[in-house]
């Protein structure tokens, strides 16, 4: 990752150009893409359809069906994400252990198995991946909801039955997280890119940013409304009623999610074509010709038949041993190769910066929700606060295409991460506020406003990675990115287990703010290495004195005048 400035320019010509020369979006690394078969957005792509291209209304139908499937999936996810923290704090009061344990299992599952999930997505047909991931994710969530209902009916948090149910709920939570990861990688990191590649080449980046923004807007809309619905149900009915509703929703949405994506698959023929995983192409090219080897081993000496049989027996046993060792080492090699591939990506440093933001309690996640509930904030109020935060995120998805068109993705991310850092300052102040109510509302306000910078930054890094990663490696790199993010989440949940009493939450706030600061610095370094600068100094009109012998004049810094100042200073005695 440590490269000289010249090497960075060679590695990232498209990044360094896009800010200084206003390159058209979607111009990076398009050599791996197939010829466009369709356009996605008639308002952005105005050329007439060519031979082999689909009608514009068909493309709009494809987009609408993707959005419908995404809505059904995200609504169930967001209801469960909000409710599970309240379920756990109701099951075991005055402790964050159950809440943090559930989050820890989910995060560690993705951290450990994310690479393998990504490779599975790359190696299998797109429709098979979507079908299995939807079925497994929803079935696991239904099972976890049933387990939570049984736990809520338990009279006391103890005994073998209680421990078994906690184990079951956490296990199903981990499975649900992995299935959801597979679906996210397939749809958000692959299908969206394939559909956007059907646009004319000059507009692919703009179309991709539009699709990404809409998908994220749907996600945030569900994040806005689903917690309100779940919180209202808990306040008006009961916690068990909310768990039952979530289970029923996921059972019914399974069919709708698959139906809409199946239509998309039928309408976009490019989705049925898939590139071979790059690591598999390399390994297959290096494999010896097995048939040639068999020919070389033929024609044994008939007089040494017994010796030959003994040799073959030993060879078979050695092959069994080698096969067993290979079964053990192959997952480790696969894991290591995925991380090596990730490290070679041009945008790896930006991905690491994004991952650092996942070591946080400064979000409306399970731990902060549980702490605010412990402080006396009602579920309905928490749902409303979360809704406002999601609304701010939706504003970010509206702003992102505009910012992207004006300053491109690299500088959008730079502005966004420091905007998030600024808005989180009230959360730091809340640590030292004695009044718990005031402290809680400072925390809510800071986290809510920071969603603007967070989602702008997330969209920026996501598109940078989408446009730079070849199709054949999207699953692996996406899996590693998710693993890295979940490693950070795992660390935050471990911190929640170690510092489990809600009154000590201020320590976790301080650590989270430090991680956001680290992410901002790291992304700033990435921008500096990529562009060679952070600011266009030649555009700054700052009056500076220029000495010509004994005289002095003021000249704006920039362009030819800056060079004039330099040459004058070299010949001046005052220099």
CATH number where 226 lies: 1.20.1250.20
Q: Is the domain of 551 the same as that of 432?
A: no
Compute how many other C-beta atoms are within 10 angstroms of the C-beta atom of residue 151.
Answer: 22
Q: For position 489, what pLDDT does the model report? A: 85
Domain contains 391 = yes
Domain count, the chain: 2
Q: For position 288, what pLDDT does the model report? A: 44
Rounded-to-integer distance, Cα 106 and Cα 34, Å: 37
Q: For position 145, what pLDDT does the model report? A: 93
Q: Is the domain of 351 the same as that of 492?
A: yes
Return the ∠ at Cα 182 (arms to 27 and 28), rounded to 5°: 5
Rounded-to-integer distance, Cα 213 and Cα 194, Å: 16
Domain contains 301 = no
Q: Is the domain of 350 the same as that of 462?
A: yes
Domain contains 347 = yes
Q: For position 465, what pLDDT does the model report? A: 86
Confidence of residue 401 (pLDDT cuts 50, 70, 90): confident
Q: Is the domain of 137 the same as that of 260?
A: yes
Q: For position 257, what pLDDT does the model report? A: 93
The yes-or-no verdict on residue 137 having pLDDT over 90 is yes
Look at the pTM and tell me if it is higher than 0.85. Answer: no
Q: For position 238, what pLDDT does the model report? A: 83
| Beta-sheet strands, E only, within 376-479 | none
Q: For position 378, what pLDDT does the model report? A: 83
Q: Is the domain of 166 the same as that of 80?
A: yes
The yes-or-no verdict on residue 23 having pLDDT over 70 is no
Tokens read off for 298:
């033929």
Domain contains 445 = yes
Return the ∠ at Cα 218 (arms to 215 and 219), rounded to 5°: 90
Higher per-residue confidence, 471 vs 332? 471
The yes-or-no verdict on residue 33 having pLDDT over 70 is no
**Beta partners for 544?**
555
Least trusted range by pLDDT, from 119-123, 314-318, 434-438: 314-318
pLDDT in tens, 236-295: 888 888 899 999 999 999 999 999 999 888 887 888 876 655 544 444 444 444 444 443
Q: For position 13, what pLDDT does the model report? A: 41
Q: Is 381 helix (H, G, I), strand (E, B) or coil?
A: helix
In terms of average pLDDT, the best of 149-163, 258-272, 463-477, 527-541 is 258-272
Q: For position 303, what pLDDT does the model report? A: 54
Q: Is the domain of 492 the same as that of 546?
A: no
Q: Is the domain of 564 the same as that of 460?
A: no
Mean pLDDT of the 339-354 span: 87
Higher per-residue confidence, 299 vs 423? 423
Q: Is the domain of 494 the same as that of 561?
A: no
Contact between residue 505 and residue 513 where contact means Cβ atoms under 8 Å apart? no
Confidence of residue 97 (pLDDT cuts 50, 70, 90): confident
- Core vs surface per residue 331-356: b (16+ CB within 10 A) or e: eeeebebbeebbeebbbbbbbbbbbb
Rounded-to-integer distance, Cα 466 and Cα 426, Å: 34
Higher per-residue confidence, 384 vs 318? 384
Least trusted range by pLDDT, from 50-54, 110-114, 143-147, 382-386: 50-54
Q: For position 246, what pLDDT does the model report? A: 92
Contact between residue 343 and residue 473 where contact means Cβ atoms under 8 Å apart? no
Compute how many other C-beta atoms are within 10 angstroms of the C-beta atom of residue 56.
Answer: 17
In terms of average pLDDT, the best of 26-35, 100-109, 126-135, 476-485 is 126-135
The yes-or-no verdict on residue 391 having pLDDT over 50 is yes
Domain contains 223 = yes
Q: For position 251, what pLDDT does the model report? A: 94
Which residues have a Cβ under 8 Å from the Cβ of 171 and sit 6 or more positions away? 105
Compute how many other C-beta atoms are within 10 angstroms of the C-beta atom of residue 200.
Answer: 18
Least trusted range by pLDDT, from 80-89, 150-159, 320-329, 564-573: 564-573
Domain contains 307 = no
**Beta partners for 547?**
552
Give the burial class of 537: count Cβ atoms within 10 A of its Cβ; 0-12 exposed, 13-18 middle, 19 or more buried.
exposed
Mean pLDDT of the 527-541 span: 67
Which residues have a Cβ under 8 Å from the Cβ of 10 and sit 6 or more positions away? none
Q: Is the domain of 512 the same as that of 542?
A: no
Q: Residue 124, Cα to own-chain centre: how many angstroms?
A: 21
Return the ∠ at Cα 125 (arms to 120 and 129), rounded to 5°: 55
What sign for the dihedral angle of Cα 402, 405, 410, 414? negative
Q: For position 284, what pLDDT does the model report? A: 44
The yes-or-no verdict on residue 47 having pLDDT over 70 is no
pLDDT in tens, 168-223: 999 999 999 999 999 988 888 888 888 877 766 666 666 677 788 888 889 878 87
| Share above pLDDT 90 across residues of the chain, in percent, rounded to a whole number | 24
Tokens read off for 129:
């991946």
The yes-or-no verdict on residue 566 having pLDDT over 50 is no
Mean pLDDT of the 113-127 span: 86
Q: For position 98, what pLDDT does the model report? A: 86
Confidence of residue 320 (pLDDT cuts 50, 70, 90): low
Domain contains 472 = yes
Q: Is the domain of 542 the same as that of 469?
A: no
In terms of average pLDDT, the best of 127-131, 270-274, 331-335 is 127-131
Confidence of residue 118 (pLDDT cuts 50, 70, 90): confident
Q: Is 552 helix (H, G, I), strand (E, B) or coil?
A: strand
Q: Is the domain of 152 the same as that of 70?
A: yes
Domain contains 47 = no
Mean pLDDT of the 42-47 span: 44
Average pLDDT in the chain? 76
Q: For position 357, what pLDDT does the model report? A: 94
Q: Is the domain of 213 the same as that of 258?
A: yes
Provide the residue range defining the domain that includes 153. 56-274+342-531
């Amino acid at each position: 990752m440590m490269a000289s400035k010249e090497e960075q320019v060679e590695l990232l010509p498209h990044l360094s150009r896009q800010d200084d020369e206003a390159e058209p979006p979607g111009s990076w690394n398009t050599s791996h893409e197939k010829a466009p078969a369709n356009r996605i957005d008639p308002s952005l792509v105005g050329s007439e359809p060519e031979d082999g291209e689909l009608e514009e209304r068909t493309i709009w139908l494809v987009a609408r069906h993707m959005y419908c499937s995404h809505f059904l999936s995200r609504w169930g996810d967001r209801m469960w994400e909000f409710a599970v923290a309240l379920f756990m704090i109701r099951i075991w009061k005055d402790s964050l252990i159950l809440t943090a344990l559930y989050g820890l299992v989910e995060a560690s599952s993705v951290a450990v198995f994310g690479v393998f999930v990504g490779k599975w997505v790359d190696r299998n047909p797109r429709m098979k991946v979507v079908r299995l991931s939807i079925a497994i994710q929803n079935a696991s969530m239904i099972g976890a909801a049933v387990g939570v209902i049984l736990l809520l009916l338990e009279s006391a948090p103890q005994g073998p039955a209680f421990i078994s149910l906690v184990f079951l709920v956490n296990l199903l939570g981990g499975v649900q997280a992995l299935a959801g990861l597979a679906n996210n990688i397939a749809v958000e990191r692959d299908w969206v890119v394939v559909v956007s590649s059907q646009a004319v080449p000059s507009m692919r980046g703009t179309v991709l940013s539009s699709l990404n923004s809409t998908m994220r807007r749907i996600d945030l809309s569900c994040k806005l409304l689903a917690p309100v619905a779940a919180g209202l149900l808990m306040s008006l009915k009961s916690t068990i009623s909310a768990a039952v509703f979530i289970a029923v929703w996921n059972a019914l949405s399974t069919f709708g999610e698959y139906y809409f994506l199946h239509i998309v698959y039928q309408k976009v023929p490019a989705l049925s074509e898939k590139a071979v995983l790059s690591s598999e192409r390399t390994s297959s090219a290096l494999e010896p010709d097995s048939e040639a080897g068999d020919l070389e081993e033929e024609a044994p000496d008939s007089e040494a038949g017994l010796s030959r049989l003994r040799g073959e027996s030993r060879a078979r046993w050695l092959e069994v041993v080698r096969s067993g060792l290979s079964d053990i080492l192959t997952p480790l090699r696969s894991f290591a190769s995925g991380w090596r591939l990730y490290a070679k990506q041009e945008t790896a440093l930006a991905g690491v910066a994004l991952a650092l933001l996942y070591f946080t309690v400064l979000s409306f996640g399970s731990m902060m929700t549980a702490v605010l509930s412990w402080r006396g904030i009602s579920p309905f109020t928490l749902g409303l606060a979360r809704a406002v935060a999601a609304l701010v995120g939706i504003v970010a998805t509206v702003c992102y295409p505009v910012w992207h068109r004006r300053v491109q993705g690299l500088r959008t991310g730079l502005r966004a991460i420091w905007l998030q850092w600024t808005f989180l300052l009230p959360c730091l102040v809340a640590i030292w506020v004695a009044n718990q109510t005031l402290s809680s509302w400072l925390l809510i306000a800071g986290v809510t406003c920071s969603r603007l910078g967070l989602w702008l930054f997330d969209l920026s890094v996501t598109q940078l990675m989408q446009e730079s990663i070849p199709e054949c490696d999207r699953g692996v790199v996406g899996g590693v990115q998710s693993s890295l993010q979940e490693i950070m989440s795992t660390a935050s949940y471990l911190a929640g287990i170690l510092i489990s009493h809600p009154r000590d939450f201020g320590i976790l706030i301080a650590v989270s703010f430090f991680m956001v600061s680290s992410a901002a610095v790291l992304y700033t370094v990435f921008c500096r290495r990529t562009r060679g600068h952070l600011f266009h100094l030649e555009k700054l009109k700052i009056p500076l004195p220029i000495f010509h012998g004994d005289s002095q004049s003021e000249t704006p810094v920039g362009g030819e005048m800056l060079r004039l100042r330099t040459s004058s200073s070299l010949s001046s005695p005052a220099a």
